[in-house]
Amino acid sequence: MFPQKFAVAGGTGNLGPTIVEALIDANFEVIILSRSSFHNVDPRAKLQVVDYAFLESLTAALTGQDAVVNVLPSKIIPVEIHFQLIEAAHKAGVKRFLPSEYGCDTSHPPTAKLPIYCDDKVAVVKRLKEISEQESTFTFTPIVTGLFFDWGIEKNFIVNLVGPLSPIYNGGDTLFSTSTLSGIGRAVVGVREHSKETNNRHVYIASTTLTQNQLIEWAEKSDQLQREFVHTADLEEQAYKALKQTPPDAETSMLNLIRCAIFDPRYRSAFSKVDNELLGVPVLPKSEIVEILQQYV
């Protein structure tokens, strides 16, 4: 069965390089689709310059590939680019498509209805379902990961450990699921290794499920951080107001709704069932979480 060929679209961004590395380490052949030849990429991968506007050349680039991992950004680029990549993969005879999911649980109906997701990640999965129902050789697997853990700590998005002020959502005791970039890379490999069990369904992973208050305590910052208490219900109200403005303030709306989806249990912030064991994604012990925190405080 090995080696198998993967095309990683957007493999040069925040998440992509870790996925590329995990695939190559697992003996898969990888081409990275990119708009430019000027990226520094893993020398074991091939960089293929593409123009996402042209279906035929995109299809040619994907011909001979077994799987496509889409790691292009969501929402900040037109959803039509995601549809075009699906169309090209389908035409090229690709067997498995992993859409650019990698976040909150959009399979949960209240989350799926949020404007950041409904006409973007959710519409993409709907399109994948339609094609796979028409053609059984075309299959798909969205990976739900929660917030990126190490990336989110580095960017002070989960909690601002460098202070002095950190937003604390709904009191800070809400459990939320979160995954490291390397855990996500491992999950992509796991999907290919367990292609039957992951056929045409969402899979869920979490490197850990914890709270903001736990993180602050484990980073030994309890006495030093000033807390800005934020209610996600207020964020949500502001998000919808921002959308109704003329012109709409899409950025405020998007950021607020993402924070709601991450920290509000109504949007299933903590996953009740995960596929870590199937996919070989480790759950981090406290000591490893503390190690990651220490890199950024």
Binding site residues, ligand NAP, CB under 6 A: 10, 12-16, 34-36, 39, 52, 71-74, 77, 81, 100, 102-103, 145, 147-148, 152
Estimate the crossing angle of helix 232-244 against helix 250-263, to 10 degrees: 160
> Residue 190 carries which side chain, given as an amino acid letter?
G
Question: Whose CB is nearest to ligand NAP?
Answer: 13
Between 36 and 136, CB nearer to ligand NAP: 36
Q: Write down the least CB distance from residue 2 to ligand NAP, Å.
A: 26
- Best CA proximity match to 102, nearest among 55, 152, 59: 152
- Shortest Cβ 127–ligand NAP spacing (Å): 15
CA–CA distance from 13 to each of 8, 10, 33, 39 (Å)? 11, 6, 11, 10
Beta-carbon contacts of residue 239 (< 8 Å; ≥ 6 apart): 252, 253, 254, 256, 257, 260
Tokens of 68: 């496509």
Please report the beta strands in 149-225, taking only residues with DSSP state E, as ranges in sequence order: 165-169, 176-179, 203-204, 208-210
Q: Residue 94 or 184: which CB sits closer to ligand NAP? A: 184
* Shortest distance in whole angstroms from residue 14 CB to ligand NAP: 4
- Minimum CB distance to ligand NAP, residue 75 (Å): 7
Cβ 72 to ligand NAP, closest distance in Å?
5
Q: 69 or 216: whose CB is closer to ligand NAP? A: 69
Shortest Cβ distance from residue 5 to ligand NAP (Å)? 19
Shortest Å, Cβ 120 to ligand NAP: 9
Rg of the chain's alpha carbons, rounded to an integer? 19
CA 105 to each of CA 23, 93, 138, 264: distance values in angstroms, whole numbers, following the listed order: 24, 29, 23, 12
Q: Closest Cα to residue 272, out of 209, 213, 198, 214?
A: 209
Alpha carbon distance 140, 82 (integer Å): 14
Give whichever of 144 and 230 is closer to ligand NAP, judged by the CB atom: 144
Q: How far is the CB of 223 from ligand NAP (least distance, A)?
A: 28
Which CB, 75 or 241, lies closer to ligand NAP?
Answer: 75
User: Rounded to an integer, what distance in angstroms lies between the CA atom of residue 2 and that of residue 247?
Assistant: 52
Q: Which amino acid is at 42?
A: D
Cα 167 to Cα 229: distance, rounded to the nearest angstrom: 6
Nearer Cβ to ligand NAP, position 10 or 167? 10
Cβ-based neighbour number of residue 24 at 10 Å: 17
Residue (16 or 183) nearer to ligand NAP, CB: 16
Using the minimum distance from each CB to ligand NAP, give the nearer residue, 71 or 89: 71
